[in-house]
Structure 1
Amino acid sequence: MHNIGIIDDNKDQRETLRLALGVYLEQRDSSLGVIDIYPFETDDFSEYFSWIDENKIVCLIFDERMHNDSENEKGPVGYRGNELVVHVRNRYKDIPIYVITSHKEDEDLQIKFSQFEDIIDRQQFTNEGEKYVDRFIRATQRYLDENILELEEYQKLAESIAIGNCSEDDQIKFNALRVKLNLPVDINLGDRKDWLNQYEENINELLAFKNNLEEKLKKN
């Protein structure tokens, strides 16, 4: 199951949002799930990357002022939503990211507006939640669609590289897609035989990933 991920230091607030989203998604017969977490205490933000990958997060919702509350003797953390988004965007270029906040006009947040799909007033979401959930679903579907197309291009390039029929531009594009899609295959192998072996080991995983995305799109 792919998930929408909520990151908020206010436990009651994020759990209420998770339950509300779950109801809206169920009403729309969506296969998306919803999970929530307290912000990670982190130096390099890598914990978020593992969490996103392991939980198949395809859409994120931040609180802006996630640096206020403690939970289970953790925190408060030393960063806000407008800072976290920069680190997530560096790793996941196109994943949909929203902020739901009571501080929509916060100057630091507004400076980072281009990093988000939208900055949503919390009361407005309470009043018009269905409208926003429809937007989340559409953004998620576009993200999955783009991943399908890019994965198909990646596979074609991988096949060309495997048989030695590729240009320097093809290799550059292949590496860029590999990084963007967070795929494990690396063409920086010294021997072409090593590359072919590596390619064979991973192609089934790539195909399974592609098929899984296509199934999720059918359900959404």
Structure 2
Amino acid sequence: MNEWAEGPVERNAILARIQTADSLTDLDTCMRLLQRRFGFRFYKLFAQRPANGTSLRGRLLLYSVDEAFLDGFDAISDLPPTPDIILASAEQQLYQWSIDDLRCLEGLAPNLVELTKLLTRHDMLNGVYFALPALDGKKQIMSLYGDRLPLSSAEIEDFCFLAIHVLDRAGMLEKRLDGARAGMSNLEIRCLQMAASGLDTAAIAVRLSLSTRTVNYLVGSLCRKLNTDRLEQALRRAAQIGFI
């Protein structure tokens, strides 16, 4: 059975999961619970400090939308500012939209026609965006998508309450993730990622064209930076903070 078809989840149960979320994996679970509670199929959680400001995928911290949708969106040229950009610069905190808003426009530009087709193919016919102002003046933004009627007044109140908690937790985890990344070299990061994929020291050395001794040094360095004694502990710690 599809996750969004399993029925609603109690608000207090979701809140408890949000408050104890200690990794991006935990946060993904919380977002999927929000999908179920409000009857949506997909979510996007925007990064406060995006890795790539030009692509949709590069602006996201977490998401459940199909990879094909992200590829299709980024392939459409000259799109007008998307809701996350609008919310980032406006005073509006919650914004609901429908694909009918696009369909009703006269003389729809070719790129918007393509966007409408893309949204339709991926069953993203309605959605809601929520923005939470951060202390640095930026906004943390999340959105849910699917095919349902607009949120009622009671649902909006409920949604805003949970969204504030999600985004507050996301901000904390993103800062933790940024801190871990900032202290590591690119080689250390690659070693960590390869070890997480199952490669041993010798295989990593071959992949990186380095000596085994150098790889062992890099492993020791990243263990110290993650405050662990062994690589296995470092991998668990990296997964816990959402680094891999």
In the superposition, the TM-score normalised over structure 2's length comes to 0.28
- Answer with 1 or 2: which has the greater Rg: 2
In the superposition, the TM-score normalised over structure 1's length comes to 0.31
